[in-house]
Amino acid sequence: MDLGRDPRAGILVALLFAIALYPLLLRSDYALGAAITVGTMAIATVGFVLLLGYARQLAIGQAAFCTIGGYGSALLVIRAQWDPFVAMIAAMGVSMTVAYLVGRPILKLHGFVLAMASLALQLILGFVATEWSELTGGAIGLSGVPRFAILGWQVGGDRALFYVVWCAVALAVLAGLNVDRSRIGRELRAIASSERAASSIGIDLGQAKVQMFVLSAGMASIAGSLTVHYLRLMEPGVFGFQYSLNIITAVVIGGLGSIWGGVLGAGIIIGLREALRLTSQPSFEGVVMGALTIVILLLFPRGVAGGIADLYRIATRRVSDATEKRATAAPGDAFRDLAGDDSILTLDRVARRFGNLVAVDKVGFTVARGSITALIGPNGAGKTTLLNMISGDQPLNGGEIRFNGARIDRLSAHRVARRGIARTFQNLELFDTMTVAENVMCGRTRHAGTNVAAIVARLPGVGREERKMSEEAERWLAFVGLGDAGARWPNTLAFGHQRLVELARSLALEPDLLLLDEPASGLNDSETEQLADLILRIRARGITILLVEHDIRLVMGLADHVVVMNHGEKIAEGAPAMVRADKLVLSAYLGA
């Protein structure tokens, strides 16, 4: 971001000034208190944007972690005389640990079931807080929480606390933005767009969701601790269901798609509530809030932050050429030994049933390393089901699959991908919420070396890795012949070109084995010949190919070995010429 020219930088500086001057200009305790409340809530809502907006996990009991933070701080400071800052960090550690332990099982749930499970966690904690009165003071709670302090430095007074809180907001926003513009941000959007495709390129869905759950829990916990030091007390009602609801409303109004949406939403929610109190109409709070939520969402379906982003885009629309990408050199065709005669993939009596239907019936064959092996047969013969079982998308009902000598038939899809098997999909599974180049960058997950902590803190290595991923993506796009399409959106490309994007994304994994599911469908004859050449160039890089395809010219021209399936059974296999002469194959598939 060029600080001199980008208007967004100006807005950011103005915002920082406004926050810094706020307590100096508005001197009332009331205004200060409202701003602290906005700040503490904003810390929690930024975390919630990561969880709901990015990871799409409707875990709505965020106040549970505020509760842990609040009680943790209050107890450690009052009972154990800990330094409040240390207590806050310790409570955050507890919250994140609880989130990790709880998250693994409950994030396997989806949609409303997950919402109920996360809410149950909050209710349980509320119940414990009320009933375990010798520790928590029961319904009366804990009073006499001292003012906040950082390693002995007393934060004397609300004005100082205001700055501490807003520094914490800034850190939370920074952490959120770091995630947003990193590989994890892309991976989360990939998951939201197609879980199937995301796992096929090695993205661990469970891990990504749990990471955001833990991160958002940490932020909620900080919000809880700081709130308690502002209120100077903690009781079960502080972070009740209403607080969770406020967090949800805030991010929906503010905008789920942007970290800033969390801050804006918190400001709007608290601002409205306080404005209603000032006009001494607190009893109408629920009605007015509800009505305003609807109005804002009608005006800005993507929340206020989304609306502002749209306005900004319209205001700064430049008539520049979006596709002025320089041509990048394709990865050098490093030839590998193609003469290897050992097998890379072995299927042994592999079976799959759907109810009474036997989709794949004890099929066995081997794929030689460095070969192009084709799998053909009529529609419904079980070819795609077989590919799905190899890639870990579907479980086996019998038999085993070995890759490089090791069993892979019990591994989940992302583990299979990480072992070095990439695939494309018959009906295309591109991520529509990101550009073509970002789609391909997602394929580099398998080779990513940075972890979530480094990304949140944006350590120097993260930027370097980003640039390298971006270069890799450009190179693979050039390799498939789409060097100038990186900045476009996948759904504006023709079907055949979208296939090539998917191919580039799989190649970015640098797999040992590539599964292609009908790559020539939607291509005309000359495009099919170009595809044949591309497949040969891929093989020349030492990548073994298993090809499901109906274009018989492509299959017979390319394949070293052909396997034919019909009604779930293998009916023939051998060299192309042999298979073509097979009577069974002629009647079932090729036609006379």
- Please report, as ranges, the residues that interact with another protein according to CB under 8 A: 319, 322, 334-340, 354, 372, 377-380, 426-428, 488-489, 492-497, 512, 518, 521-529, 532-533, 536-537, 539-540, 542, 550, 552-554, 556-558, 589-591
In the complex, the smallest distance separating the C-beta of residue 422 from another protein, rounded to whole angstroms, is 15
Q: Which of 440, 562, 552 is nearest to 501 (CA)?
A: 440
Q: Tokens for 176?
A: 């959120």
Nearer to another protein, 24 or 339 (CB): 339
Q: Is 271 helix (H, G, I), strand (E, B) or coil?
A: helix
Nearer to another protein, 364 or 557 (CB): 557
H-run or E-run covering 143 = strand 142-143
Angle between the 84-106 and 63-78 helix axes, to the nearest 10 degrees?
Answer: 150
HSE-CB at 513 with a 13 A cutoff on CA atoms is 25
Nearer to another protein, 236 or 370 (CB): 370
In the complex, the smallest distance separating the C-beta of residue 276 from another protein, rounded to whole angstroms, is 41
In the complex, the smallest distance separating the C-beta of residue 587 from another protein, rounded to whole angstroms, is 10
In the complex, the smallest distance separating the C-beta of residue 374 from another protein, rounded to whole angstroms, is 12
Nearer to another protein, 182 or 385 (CB): 385
In the complex, the smallest distance separating the C-beta of residue 326 from another protein, rounded to whole angstroms, is 19
CA dihedral 30, 31, 37, 39 (to 10 degrees): -160
Question: How many helices (H) and strands (E) are present in the chain, helices listed first?
Answer: 24, 14
In the complex, the smallest distance separating the C-beta of residue 376 from another protein, rounded to whole angstroms, is 8
What distance in Å separates the CA atoms of residue 92 and residue 339, rounded to the nearest whole number? 57
Nearer to another protein, 151 or 319 (CB): 319
In the complex, the smallest distance separating the C-beta of residue 83 from another protein, rounded to whole angstroms, is 53
Nearer to another protein, 77 or 360 (CB): 360
What does the DSSP 8-state code read for residue 145? P
Nearer to another protein, 144 or 332 (CB): 332
Residues 6+ apart with CB under 8 A from 384: 426, 517, 548
Residues 6+ apart with CB under 8 A from 512: 344, 404, 420, 421, 542, 543, 544
Residues 6+ apart with CB under 8 A from 533: none
Q: Is 206 exposed, middle or buried (0-12, 13-18, 19+ CB in 10 A)?
A: middle
Nearer to another protein, 444 or 539 (CB): 539
Give start and end residues of each alpha helix (H) in 279-429.
285-299, 303-315, 383-390, 413-419
In the complex, the smallest distance separating the C-beta of residue 495 from another protein, rounded to whole angstroms, is 6
Q: Is 352 helix (H, G, I), strand (E, B) or coil?
A: strand
In the complex, the smallest distance separating the C-beta of residue 169 from another protein, rounded to whole angstroms, is 35
Nearer to another protein, 112 or 354 (CB): 354
